Structure 1
Amino acid sequence: MSQHFKETPHNAITDSGIARVIPCKELDAGDPLKWLSLGLQDLLRTPLLSVFYGVIFAAIPWFISYLVAMTGWHLIILPSIVCFMLIGPFLAAGLYDISWEHEKGHKPTLSHSLGAIRRNAVNEWGFGILLMVLMIFWLRVASLIHALYPQHQIESLESLMPFLMLGTGVGAVFCVGMFFITAFTQPILLERKVDLATAVMTSINAVWVNKVPMFIWAGIIFSVVAIGFVTGFIGFIVLMPLLGYASWHGYIDAIETKRERDFV
């Protein structure tokens, strides 16, 4: 584990007074690759559990695409994504629990990983609802942007450029904001009995303090998810558990504890 850390500098986040902010360590640019390596080790040590969660992650976008193709009703995407935003944290908690069990020297089990969400259930549900609200907000903004540029007005690439630039810019800002909020919130809630505001503010602070390594990590996540889509979601069977395990190791590396972890 990375041991090279300093006192977290004061900034607008830690001084905001909105919630307690757990101090973070200073990461190296190469740490995200280390997290992937450790995540791969967890995947290879627990292939069946990994495939179980991976199949669920792959089935959800496949099922959404199937419903859209079968009904031709694209509005079905919204309720489907809302449902996914509510159950996504539960799936992620199961993957984090598997890595956590490996760290403790225990043998991970399906029942133990499925029960992980109960350790901080109220705040985990709150996190799922927060993700749902943010996703609905983004879908509404995207609909508004699309309404500003009716299809009949788009007759050439030149006329399409303002639409593409606006959509890409707003989408990029939204994705960056989501990354700050979600990078470490879920594993914090899993391991520690803290409130949602503390977990979110800690995640935001950790990403802000470690901008370079964390945006390298964001690039890795984007690339892995893109590969999953290119492979028709089949790649998610392996890639999503890999990202889940690696994210847990990133959390262990990034967020400080008052005393060394003594796993038994």
Structure 2
Amino acid sequence: MDEEKQARARSFFVRNDLELADLWLALKKGWQDYRTYPAFGLLLSALFVIGGLAISYSLISRGETVWLVPATAGFPILAPFTAVGLYEVSRLREARMRPDWKAVLSAMKGRGDDQILSMGVIIFVTFGFWMIVAHGVYAIFLGNSGIGSDPTAILTTPNGLAMLAIGSLVGGLMALGFYAITVMSLPILVHRDVDVLTAIITSLQAIRDNRGVLLLWAFLVAGLLGLAMIPAFFGLLVILPVLGHATWHLYRRTVQST
């Protein structure tokens, strides 16, 4: 079985000629997919929004509002796993097949070999690790300041501003590394019967060979997701599905069959 997967892994290659126009085309196709089958995007993104609201409510109700900043900043890390179902919708539409919930939910479970589940574990562990790092940065800068859980301290004290700067830098580097291993790997796992390591290596190769365009895509995705979370995450009901579908089309432009 491993030899069969290795053979399938050799049946595709990564293009190195992505252009800025490809990003616009991917967004255009993503919007078309969302308009054609909006129910899938609305429901999947609604679950994501509910999760965000639940985390926010939990922190506020416990008087830990200072953690809203790192939780909100790290929450988009979970978005790629939510987008797995959207990749399947785009794949079926591309194949001129009508998507249904059975097919979409089956795609989210994977091919029965736990590869997508393994990637899901990586995603959730990454989010948990980010929260641990955020706690560490907070402890360094504000842990002994006596400020407590006052969120205004972040913007009104030197230590708070330093924490925000260092936390943003560390979080940005973590997010960039996470983006590099997932931007192509999850669409690959939906589309092809390969192992998670091959998918991650292919994603890293795509970043290496198309560094400028795919880094711009990373900043564009981060910016749009950030704006969509203001206020109360509701912009994600549109932005998240469109970006999910668009990522599928960007994958199809980047990783092609031999």
| TM-score normalised per structure 2 | 0.81
Q: 1:219 to 1:141 in 2, by over 3 A?
A: same
Question: Is 1:215–2:215 an aligned residue pair?
Answer: yes
Q: Hey, what does 1:23 align to over in structure 2? A: 13
| Aligned-residue offset at 1:74 | 6.8
Stretches of structure 1 lacking an aligned partner (at least 5 in a row)? 1-19, 259-264
Conserved 8 A contact 1:183-1:203: yes
Question: Is 1:247–2:250 an aligned residue pair?
Answer: no
Would you identify which runs of 4 or more consecutive aligned residues in structure 1 move more than 4 Å?
73-79, 82-88, 153-161
Question: Is 1:114–2:111 an aligned residue pair?
Answer: no
CA distance in 2, matches of 1:240, 1:86: 11
| Aligned-residue offset at 1:232 | 1.6
Deviations 1:185-211 (A, max 9, x none): 111111111111100111011012111
Q: Hey, what does 1:69 align to over in structure 2? A: 60
| Aligned-residue offset at 1:65 | 1.3
CA distance in 1, matches of 2:140, 2:201: 34
Stretches of structure 2 lacking an aligned partner (at least 5 in a row)? 1-8, 148-152
Q: Which amino acid aligns with 1:100?
A: R
Q: Hey, what does 1:132 align to over in structure 2? A: 124
| TM-score normalised per structure 1 | 0.79
CA distance in 2, matches of 1:205, 1:196: 14
| Aligned-residue offset at 1:105 | 0.6
Conserved 8 A contact 1:87-1:128: no
Q: Which amino acid aligns with 2:213?
A: P
% identical aligned pairs = 26
CA distance in 1, matches of 2:80, 2:19: 29
Deviations 1:59-96 (A, max 9, x none): 110122122223435799999xx99978962x322111
| Aligned-residue offset at 1:106 | 1.1
Q: 1:164 to 1:53 in 2, by over 3 A?
A: closer
| Aligned-residue offset at 1:164 | 3.3
Q: 1:224 to 1:84 in 2, by over 3 A?
A: closer
Q: 1:159 to 1:118 in 2, by over 3 A?
A: closer
Moved more, 160-169 or 59-68: 160-169
Conserved 8 A contact 2:78-2:127: no
